[in-house]
Amino acid sequence: MGYSSKSPWLIHYDGSSCNGCDIEVLDSMMPLYDIERFGIINTGNPKHADIFLVTGSVNHQNINVVKEIYDQMLEPKVVVACGICACTGGVFRDCYNVIGGVDKAIPVDVYAPGCAVRPETIIDAVLKAVDILDEKAKKMKAEKGRG
Amino acid sequence: MGLIAFLVAAPLVTAVLLMLFRSDSARRVITSAAAVVIGVASVVFAVTYMAGGLTYFGLPQEITYAVSWVMTAVDIVLCAVILWFAVRYKNRIALVLGLIQTIGVVVFANMTLSEGAEHMLEQPLYLDQLSVIMVLIVGLVGSAICVYALGYMRDFQHHEPADAPDRRHFFSALMFLFLAAMFVIVLSDNLEWMFTGWEITTTCSFLMIGYTRTPEAIKNSFRQINLNMIGGIAFLAALLIIHLSGIPMSLAALIALGETIAAPLLIFPVILLSVAGLTKAAQMPFHTWLLGAMVAPTPTSALLHSSTMVKAGVFLLVKLAPLYAVFPAASAMVVTIGGITFVLCSFMAISQSNAKRVLAYSTIANLGLIAACAGVGTAEATWAAIFLIIFHTVSKSILFLCVGTVEHRIGSRNIEDMDGLFSRLPHLTRFMMLGILGMFVAPFGMLISKWATLVSFAETGNVLFLILLAFGSAATFFFWAKWIGKLSGVSQKAENVEKGVHRSEWVAIGFIALCLLGCCLGLPAISLGVVSPYLVGVFNSNPQFIGVDNMLIMVVIVAFIAIVLLTPFGRAHKRRVGVYLAGATVQSDDRTYLGSMERKMTSTKRNWYLEDVFGENVLSNVGTVVCLGVLVIAFGASIVLNPGFLAGGTFMVDREVLLVGPDLWGLLLGIVIFAICAPVIGCLLDGLDRKISAHMQGRVGPRILQPYYDMRKLLSKEQVSVNQVDEAYVTCALIFAIIAGGMFISGSNLLMTIFLVTLATLFVIIAAYSARSPYADTGADRECLQVMSYEPMLLIMSVGFFVATQSFDTASLLRLDAPIIWTNIPIFLGLLFILTIKLRKSPFDLSYSHHAHQEIVKGITTEMSGRTLAKVDIMHWCETVLFLLWVGMFFVWSDPVSIVIALAVMAVTWFLEVWIDNNFARVKWQTCLKSAWLVALVMGVVNLFLVLITPFI
């Protein structure tokens, strides 16, 4: 197991969500769920983060912001779409301003559906993401070794 | 003898030539040649006489008599010049003072010259190591400034209105006249001649400040002449009293007389000469002339305030130093005024955004320090004063010259406009940063001198001044750090505007920068070879309070910093990325981003000037009133009190500093051990901290080794950076922190440990500023403020350590019969208070916090990522261990059991800090600064008075 999976720091971005999922994300940091058990820290700074946690759908105003945060994160990095809106646009998918799920803007590694997404699902998704993170780190290392 | 005549004559001849040949090309040739000749002559002079030490030069008395006539004539001409200007510009005060001075000169000349040649001194000229140092300063730095003026004045004339008359020849001639006067001052044993040199510098600077003849310049030049004439008249009064008391007109005779029973005769002359020195050195209440002098062209400022005019003032005070040990009233006056000036001017420098005014205040503050050192009158204090003179000269002249050139390049002398100068004027800015570092951080000479100051005041038990020094130094850190932060910002697409800088400017700046590095690198040699012999000659003692091994380590660090700063060494070639602007960047270099409703916004950031705390209006008045009061009290005391008391020596307990630290190998061993152990222990402590915090919040928390996993992960991340330099700075910081810890555990100097930790913090601050990110800048600003908040307590702690152990070396703890906590309980409590700031724990985690609920974007570390961030973390681990060791040090004595007690106390303290961290919310910066300073002040005063005053009771 690599070190990336032991220390996944995440950044949380709220797209056009109804805030239900955001509350659940914060909830997972509370003593009951305590995601710091897994070494997870909510950093708020893309340059420090490994996991990009997006809630809510992508719209015309925030698509560039989502893209930029993603670009500013350093490899290896993974994206977790939290909640059905982030996965597909959810009930808002037909709104005039909504483009759709996060995967319309950036590549998504893990989809965590739910309305609102439950803390257990978030933790599951993050732990799933952590495995992908390790794989990416391994790949990066191999490339570095070759290059 | 011939050399002295040459040194004085060469600048005079140059001045005359410059007045005769006024074309640009002729001036260039004459100035450059003269500068080289004077520089070489002063070096030859130094080489010839350095080894010889104190030497007197005899002259036939007829010649001395004739020269005295000439000097008197010069005095009268100077008075006439002043009177003429006073009448022409209708300045009443100048007229009255000028008349008093004229009458004084005539009366005095009438008395001395009428006695004829046989009463003249047989040996009117002399030199010793101090004069040689001054000759080198004037000859090398002074002439470099004259060369600089060539290019500068061309730009200056260019910026003037088209019809302005070209009087540059006059300006250059004045500068050389100034140098000649300085040589007279530093080489005359004859006080009468010295007075003439003194008056020439006063009048020359009057003319130079008023050079542009704008109303403002004229107003400020009159302020200068009026204040300095007060000093001149005091000097003259001293000469009259000396002559009437039948004492020979010789500086050496005065000092010799101080040791005899005739000393009471000197009570008034010494006070009057001190007043003269204080006015020339721009001490409060006379400091305003130096601020006003900033309207003059920059070479004037550089010449007056770094190498010549003000240095003449402190030179006189340092010369009088042995007398201050005899006359308590004069000593107390000079020390108090110097100390108050130092602290208040350092405070006021914080509130200034005009670069030249910051330099002016810093100059006054440092001169205050020199004056205070001279006023103590011990060999150690004089050592400090001499080194302060040397390093202040070189650092400050670089800064003045750079600011002058920058002003012509970017059209402003406001520090706010110097944002990103690192890219726009790459070479000039690096020199400027070198000058700034030279002014206030550890391995550079200025701080070593401040260190010596602290030691000498601790030795003599001067509590008041120790406290002033502690707070003044903290303020000094703040205003320099925020300026260097502005300079160091790297912008990615800035246009290089360095092309137009004249070659003469480069030559002068480069030469003085070399002098600065040379002095820093050669500090041990200068100390052993030049200053120690001088002190042996004057005080019969050779102070040894900084181990040579420590000095060698300093030298290595200076060399290292110079390499990092001035060469491309350590530049990482990583992918460049923009700064973080909350995800809606338009242009990262301009810090523009999209705000709400898609508006384009620009993030701007000004430095902190804290005007409501350190504003000029209040502090300046307070200083003037208090210092004026001190002057009046000193004079009053001299009239009222009994002469036996006034000439009976100052009260002090002289404590020798014991040097018990390890040798160089011991130091290296300590550094290696610390480099291996501290990160491991610090990492475990950090993990434990997170675990305990989690339990306090009812959570399980991460694994104990979590910080280690975090660090490994950061090392394996992709390496990118916002600029090429930040990782180099952070690496420096890590190395300095490790050296600091290593020195501490090897038993070496505690003060040096404190200074090196501060240096490490400064480098992290510079790294953060270099990103030009709004978040990192805010974090760095707050870090500066935190350093300013805790620094006084640390310096007070080191003094408390010294009075308990007689040494600054931590090895001395093992020789004690009782732990130092017995005498230092208040200081220990103060340390516990600031420990929260140093460990970045809530409520004082202003610059950076690991709590998500307090820090959204990660403050000072915002733009650091991957390996750079890992290094910052490792540095924090090392620092945590070191700070806990500081706590433990209070409980160690010769008994081995004490180690266990110390470890227990460290554990309890650490747990207490974690508990505080989890139970308090972050406070505002005002609360942080005020509470930390209040604690330091109260604890420091209570504790130090207790331990330092006890011997007298």
pLDDT tens readout for residues B387-429: 999 999 999 999 999 999 998 888 888 888 888 888 888 888 9
The rounded radius of gyration (Å) of the Cα atoms in chain A is: 15
Are B862 and A43 inside 8 Å of each other by CB? no
Whether B116 and B177 share a structural domain: no
CA distance A100 to chain B (A): 19
Residue B218 to residue B221: CA distance in whole angstroms: 5
Nearest CA among B911, B850, B884 for reference residue B696:
B911
Q: For position B953, what pLDDT does the model report?
A: 57
pTM, to two decimals: 0.93
Quickly state the pLDDT bin for A1 (edges 50, 70, 90). Answer: low
Q: Are residues B108 and B250 in the same domain?
A: no
- B782-838: pLDDT as tens digits: 999 999 999 999 999 998 898 888 888 899 998 888 899 988 999 999 999 999 999
- Residues B820-855 as b/e (b if ≥16 CB within 10 A, e otherwise) read bbebbbbbbebbbbbbbbbbbbbbbbbbbbbebeeb
Same-domain pairing of B117 and B136: no
B787 and B878 belong to one structural domain: yes
Residue B846's pLDDT is what?
86
**Same-domain check for residues B385 and B285:** yes
Does residue B442 form part of some domain? yes
* ipTM entry: 0.94
Q: Which residue has the tokens 């985690």?
A: B845
Out of B76, B101, B122, a domain closes at B122
In B210-301, at which residue ranges do the beta strands (DSSP E only) sit?
A: none
Q: What pLDDT digit, counting tens, does each position of B739-766 carry?
A: 999 999 998 889 889 999 999 999 999 9
Q: Do B472 and B328 share a structural domain? A: yes
- Which pLDDT tens digit goes with each residue over B697-721? 888 889 999 999 999 999 988 888 8
What b-and-e string marks burial along A103-115, b requiring 16 or more CB atoms within 10 Å of the CB?
Answer: bbbbebbbbbbbe
Q: What is the mean pLDDT of residues B44-71?
A: 85
For residue A7, the chain B residue with the least C-alpha distance is B710
Establish whether the linkage from the previous residue to B312 is cis, with ω within 30° of 0.
no
Together in a domain, B861 and B908: yes
Interface residues of B toward A, Cβ cutoff 8 Å, are 577-578, 580, 583-585, 598, 690, 694, 697-703, 706, 709-710, 712-713, 716-718, 720, 852, 855-858, 861-866, 869
Residue ranges of the alpha helices (H) in B441-530?
Answer: 445-460, 463-488, 503-521, 523-526
How many domains, chain B? 3
Provide the CATH number for the domain around residue A86.
3.40.50.12280
| Mean pLDDT calculated for residue range B727-736 | 92
- DSSP calls for B831-846: HHHHHHHHTT-TTS--
Q: How many CB atoms lie within 10 A of CB A75?
A: 13
The band of B853, judged by pLDDT with boundaries at 50, 70 and 90, is low
**DSSP assignment string, B279-328:** HHTT-TTSTHHHHHGGGS-HHHHHIIIIISHHHHHHHHHHHHHHHHTT-H
Contact predicate A33/A27, CB 8 Å: yes
**Residues from chain A contacting residue B703 (CB–CB below 8 Å):** 6, 39
Selecting from A31, A36, A37 the residue whose C-beta is nearest the C-beta of B698 gives: A31
Distance CA B844, CA B851 (A): 12
Looking at the fold, whether B310 and B450 belong to one and the same domain comes out as yes
How far is C-alpha B577 from the geometric centre of its chain's CA atoms? 37
pLDDT over 70 percentage in chain B: 98
Supply B267's token pair.
């009570």
Final residue of a structural domain among B104, B122, B140: B122
Contacts of B701 in chain A (CB under 8 A): 34, 36-37
Residues of chain B contacting residue A9, judged by C-beta atoms under 8 Å apart: 710
Q: Could you tell me the two tokens for B142?
A: 């002074």
Residue A20 lies in a domain: yes
Domain membership flag for residue B766:
yes
How many CB atoms sit inside 10 A of residue B12's CB?
A: 16
Residue A93 and residue A84 in contact, taking contact as beta carbons nearer than 8 Å: no
What does the H/E/C string look like for B324-345? HCCCHHHHHHHHHHHHHHHHHH
Q: Do A41 and B852 touch (CB under 8 A)?
A: yes
For the stretch B490-527, pLDDT in tens is: 887 777 888 878 888 899 999 999 998 888 888 888 88
The answer to whether residue A138 is domain-embedded is: no
Distant-in-sequence, close-in-space partners of B621: CB < 8 Å, separation ≥ 6: none
- Residue B817 and residue B758 share a domain: yes
Please count the structural domains in chain A: 1
Instruction: Give a yes or no: residue A77 inside a domain.
Output: yes
| Interval A57-83 mean pLDDT | 92
Per the structure, the complete domain to which residue A116 belongs is given by: 4-133
Tell how many helices (H) and how many strands (E) occur in chain B: 37, 7
Please tell me whether residues B54 and B113 are part of one structural domain: no
Output the average pLDDT for chain A.
90
Asked if residue B670 and residue B635 are part of one domain, the reply reads no
Residue B588, in any domain of the structure: no
Structural domain range at position B197:
2-58+123-565+610-646
The answer to whether position A143 is within a domain reads no
Reply yes or no on whether the pLDDT at B575 is more than 90. Answer: no
B76 part of a folded domain: yes
B767 and B629, same structural domain? no
The pLDDT of residue B914 is 93
